[in-house]
């Protein structure tokens, strides 16, 4: 859940017989080639391949050929050749292409959203929400493109200097599986706005909508080769990062992979942006509006099946209101509807994969062994309808009797597991909130303005929510402190990470030389 829009403003098209997984799985988006090079869908050479599974039903959709070194060479060469002309377009011209792409995304929102559901198992309205947010992001960078400029400095004796903001070159993008279209959009839009070209590798689990973005850019007038997609697993990502003709890598994923990518980039002194994991604190003071705090806690833990990097999964509640908070929380979570993600009223869809479900279940067991108690959920649910028997559906889990030293409280689970902790004082909770190797996000619910400001100043994180959580309006930078990453996305600041400054000195007089 990444953008602040009213859910009610979205066009809602109700689930019909025309949009079922069976029909979607035979659609062009699924059966056509899934690499995208020089503006065309093409097949990777393989010879190895991997399977694409629909999380909602557990059914196999197809095999996808793995992009090998030659596939990546071709995509990078296409991006390099296109860079020569694209980087010479004016920012305004580049911006027009991005704005057209944003409009096309809006006109195809249902196509994109249903395909995203097929890939991820997330509820359809969440997918629609993500896709429309991406249209805004691409339009936002389209608007900024024409204003990308350098600076002018008057110097003494008629001399002067100016700076030119230039693109970096060819950017390699690598995405995670929880917001597949968003990863492709958040990375490509600022990169293209600055005049770079891109080769993007989506997660092997969610390959479909990044290619649809390629089709859309093409239709919007982006020259072939400016945005390319290669499909593959970790090894393909590794080849892309280490490619000598890639100038920058922008990555979203886990800390261990981020660390490996940074090491690969260090070898060739490549620019790198890392959007990594988190274990964010969510703090509720006794003076908070309790209903809003409960809503915030649910947004912070259970949207997208709990698979959100910025989730506030360490929920610290002031001791005096902890029982009341928990009672209200359970009452609201009980109403969440688990099941068919293609239904408009479903609020919890399928977990991305059996492997991820096993990680989540392992953590719940570890928590229990460490002394935590499951007060709600944590078990698998079989939704009505035989179609969904092969998907994995989990009831959101609330753990109490947690302590800061437990693994469930310290480590990122990336599933619907909330750890509830209590605190007595502001100083205490700030110290505990900061006691983490991560620093992606944090939240505080309080009506005390001064306390809110103290909290904002003290928390060591990249994004802080005061009296809300997990909203990402376009234009507000997003990124982590500490091990949660390097760089920013979604705001004007991202342009700094996709461009470099050339300083130009002009002499207005004679050369002064003491030699
Ligand atoms: P992951 O690190 O396993 O994989 C991410 C991507 O990296 C995939 O495309 C994968 O194929 C590729 N990859 C794997 N090994 C590689 C290597 N050696 N070199 C190059 N590429 C390689 O992460 P995931 O399981 O897909 O996603 C979940 C993680 O992503 C969580 O930790 C989550 O917090 C994080 N995430 C962060 C943000 C953010 O903005 N900070 C957003 C979403 C997800």
Distance, in Å, from the CA atom of 45 to the CA atom of 31, rounded to the nearest integer, reads 16
Q: Whose CA is nearest to atom 42 of ligand 1?
A: 309
Q: What angle do CA 8, 13, 15 make, to 5 degrees?
A: 120
Quick one: pLDDT at residue 386?
79
Q: Which atom of ligand 1 is nearest to the CA of 232?
A: 11
The pLDDT tens digits for 169-181 are: 999 999 999 999 9
Cα(505) to centroid of ligand 1, in Å?
Answer: 42
> What's the CA gap between 391 and 354, in Å, rounded?
8
Q: What is the pLDDT of residues 49-105, one digit of tens each?
A: 999 999 999 999 999 999 999 999 999 999 999 999 999 999 999 999 999 999 999
Atom 35 in ligand 1: which residue has the minimum CA distance?
253
- Distance between Cα 71 and ligand 1 center (Å): 21
Dihedral angle computed from the Cα positions of residues 127, 128, 134 and 136, in that order, rounded to the nearest 10 degrees: -160
Strands, E assignment, 350-453: 373-376, 380-381, 393-394, 397-400, 417-423, 438-439, 441-445
Instruction: Please report which helix (H) or strand (E) contains residue 456, including its range.
Output: helix 449-458
Give φ, ψ of 258 to 5 degrees.
-60, -40
Render pLDDT for 120-169 as a digit per residue (tens, 0 to 9).
Answer: 999 999 999 999 999 999 999 999 999 999 999 999 999 999 999 999 99
Kindly report the backbone phi and psi dihedral angles of residue 48, in degrees, each rounded to the nearest multiple of 5, phi listed first. -80, 165
50: Cα within 13 Å, side-chain hemisphere: 17
Please compute, for residue 69, the number of CA atoms within 13 A of its CA located in the half-sphere on the CB side: 3
pLDDT average, residue stretch 468-495: 97
Among 2, 187, 257, 491, say which to mutate for ligand 1: greatest number of ligand atoms within 8 Å of CB: 257
| CA atoms of 304 and 195, how far apart (whole Å) | 33
- Nearest-CA neighbor of 199 among 209, 182, 211? 211
Indicate whether 17 pLDDT > 70.
no
Query: In sequence order, what are the beta bridge partners of 503?
Result: 163
Residue of 396, 395, 398, 399 lying closest to 382 (CA atoms): 395
Q: Which residues have a Cβ under 8 Å from the Cβ of 268 and sit 6 or more positions away?
A: 242, 244
Tell which atom from ligand 1 comes closest to the C-alpha of 177: 26
CA of 306 to the centre of ligand 1 (A): 16
Question: Does residue 309 carry a pLDDT above 60?
Answer: yes
- Which residue CA neighbors atom 22 of ligand 1 most closely? 234
Q: What is the pTM of this model?
A: 0.95
Tell whether the model's pLDDT for residue 329 goes beyond 90: yes
Query: What atom of ligand 1 comes closest to residue 203's alpha carbon?
Result: 9
Mean per-residue pLDDT, 372-390: 93
How far does residue 425's CA lie from ligand 1's centre (Å)?
A: 36
Bridge partners, 273 (sequence order): 250
pLDDT of residue 3: 44
Strand pairing partners for 243?
Answer: none
Residue 192 to residue 296: CA distance in whole angstroms:
35
Q: Tell me, in angstroms, the distance from the centre of ligand 1 to residue 429's CA.
A: 30
267, with CB counted inside 10 A (0-12, 13-18, 19+), is exposed
| Ligand 1 pocket, residues with Cβ under 6 angstroms | 174-178, 201, 203-204, 233-234, 237-238, 241, 252-254, 257, 260-261, 275-278, 309, 412, 414, 440, 480, 485
- pLDDT interval class at 5 (50, 70, 90): very low
> Mean pLDDT throughout 191-211?
98
Query: What residue's CA is closest to ligand 1, atom 40?
Result: 275
pLDDT tens-place string over residues 277-292: 999 999 999 999 999 9
Query: Ligand 1 atom closest to Cα of 254?
Result: 32
What DSSP element (H or E) covers 37? Answer: strand 35-37
Phi, psi of 111 (to 5 degrees): -55, -50
Q: Which residues are catalytic?
A: 275
Q: Rounded CA gap, 109 and 131, in Å?
A: 7
Percent of the chain whose pLDDT exceeds 70:
96
Separation in Å, CA 378 to CA 375, 383, 398: 9, 15, 8
The helix, strand and coil proportions of the chain, stated in percent and rounded to the nearest 5, come to: 40, 20, 35
Residue 363: how many other CB atoms lie within 10 Å: 23
- Taken in order 215, 341, 122, 382, the sign of the CA dihedral is negative
3-class DSSP state of 452:
helix
Q: Which residue has the higher pLDDT, 491 or 12?
A: 491
Ligand 1 mutation target, pool 199, 251, 254, most atoms within 8 A of CB: 254
Give the model's pLDDT for residue 67.
Answer: 98
CA 258 – ligand 1 centroid, Å = 7
Look at residue 372 and tell me whether its pLDDT is greater than 90.
yes
Longest Cα–Cα distance of the chain, Å, equals 87
CB atoms under 10 Å from CB of 221, counted, come to 12
What average pLDDT does the segment 220-231 reach?
98
CB 19 within 8 A of CB 116: no
Give the pLDDT of residue 18. 53
Average pLDDT, the chain: 95
Residue 76: CA count within 13 A, CB half-sphere: 25
Rounded distance, CA 491 to CA 469, Å?
18
pLDDT digits (tens, 9 = 90+) for 334-352: 999 999 999 999 999 999 9
């Amino acid at each position: 859940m990444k953008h602040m829009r009213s859910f009610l403003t979205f066009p809602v098209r109700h689930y019909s017989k025309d949009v079922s997984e069976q029909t979607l799985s035979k659609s062009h988006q699924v059966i056509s080639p899934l690499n995208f090079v020089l503006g065309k869908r093409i097949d990777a050479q393989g010879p190895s391949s991997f399977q694409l599974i629909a999380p909602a039903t557990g059914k196999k959709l197809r095999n996808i050929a793995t992009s090998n070194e030659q596939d990546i060479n071709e995509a990078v060469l296409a991006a390099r050749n296109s860079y020569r002309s694209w980087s010479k377009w004016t920012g305004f011209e580049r911006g027009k292409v991005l704005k057209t792409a944003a409009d096309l995304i809006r006109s195809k929102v249902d196509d994109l959203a249903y395909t995203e559901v097929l890939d991820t198992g997330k509820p359809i309205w969440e997918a629609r929400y993500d896709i429309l947010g991406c249209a805004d992001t691409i339009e936002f960078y389209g608007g900024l493109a024409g204003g990308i400029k350098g600076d002018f400095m008057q110097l003494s004796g008629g001399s002067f200097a100016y700076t030119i903001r230039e693109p970096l070159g060819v950017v390699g993008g690598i995405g995670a599986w929880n917001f597949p279209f968003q990863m492709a959009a958040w990375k490509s839009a600022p990169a293209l706005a600055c005049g770079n070209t891109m080769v993007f590798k989506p997660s092997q689990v969610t390959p479909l909508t990044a290619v649809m973005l390629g089709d859309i850019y093409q239709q919007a007038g982006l020259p072939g080769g400016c945005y390319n997609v290669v499909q593959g697993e970790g090894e393909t990502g590794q080849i892309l990062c280490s490619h000598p003709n890639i100038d920058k890598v922008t990555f979203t994923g886990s800390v261990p992979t981020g660390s490996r990518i940074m090491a690969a980039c260090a070898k060739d002194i490549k620019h790198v942006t890392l959007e990594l994991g988190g274990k964010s604190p969510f703090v509720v003071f006794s003076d908070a509006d309790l209903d809003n705090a409960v809503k915030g806690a649910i947004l912070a833990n259970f949207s997208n099946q709990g698979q959100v990097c910025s989730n506030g999964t360490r929920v610290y509640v002031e001791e005096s209101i902890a029982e009341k908070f928990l009672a209200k929380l359970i009452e609201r979570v009980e109403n969440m509807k688990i099941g068919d993600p293609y239904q408009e009223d479903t609020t919890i869809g399928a977990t991305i994969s059996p492997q991820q479900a096993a990680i989540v279940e392992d953590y719940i067991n570890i928590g229990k062994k460490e002394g935590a108690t499951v007060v709600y959920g944590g078990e698998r649910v079989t939704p009505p309808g035989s179609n969904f028997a092969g998907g994995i559906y989990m009831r959101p889990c609330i753990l109490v009797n947690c302590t800061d030293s437990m693994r469930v409280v310290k480590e990122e689970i990336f599933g619907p597991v909330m750890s509830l902790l209590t605190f007595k004082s502001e100083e205490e909770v700030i110290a505990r909130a900061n006691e983490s190797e991560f620093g992606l996000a944090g939240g505080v619910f309080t009506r005390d303005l001064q306390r809110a400001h103290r909290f904002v100043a003290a928390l060591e994180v990249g994004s802080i929510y005061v009296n809300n959580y997990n909203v990402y309006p376009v234009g507000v930078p997003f990124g982590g402190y500490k091990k949660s990453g390097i760089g920013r996305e979604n705001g004007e600041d991202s342009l700094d990470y996709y461009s470099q400054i050339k300083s130009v000195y002009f002499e207005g007089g004679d050369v002064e030389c003491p030699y």
